[in-house]
Amino acid sequence: MQKTSDGVEQTAAEFRKTAAELTRVAERLNAQGGVVDRLAESAAALTNASQAFNAGTLPRLNHTSDEAARTARQVSRTAGVVSDNPQALIFGNGAIAPGPGEPGFIPPKGTP
């Protein structure tokens, strides 16, 4: 009985010691400026950074993307005009004179 009683007391003492250690750890975690506070501050900073990114950078990226698409369409149109009428590079994008066999073609003077 004595040995069992001593064993129970020793186990209870170790349990009290472990409980006291857990209490100290919890107090340090929850203390002002402790780990929990720093985690909360880090989460708030991350939230602020993502909001700033969404508010500032994403609209600019969307605008840049729109401008790039518009420019690509203009380049495509320009390439089409040059392909259809290469003289447009020199003379501008005026009306194309009809060629031989096309309605409205007038042969140059002085040719038989």
Q: What is the pLDDT of residues 70-109, one digit of tens each?
A: 999 999 988 887 888 788 788 777 777 788 999 999 888 8
Phi and psi (nearest 5°) for 99? -95, 175
What is the domain partition of the chain in residue ranges?
23-78
Q: Which of 43, 63, 41 is nearest to 51 (CA)?
A: 43
pTM: predicted TM-score of the whole model, two decimal places? 0.44
Residue 93 DSSP symbol: S
Which tokens belong to 110? Answer: 């002085």
The string of pLDDT tens digits covering residues 4-44 is: 777 778 888 888 888 888 888 888 777 887 777 888 888 99
Q: Is there a contact between 18 and 10 (Cβ–Cβ < 8 Å)?
A: no
Alpha-carbon radius of gyration of the chain: 42
The tokens 């129970």 sit on which residue?
Answer: 8
pLDDT on residue 111: 58
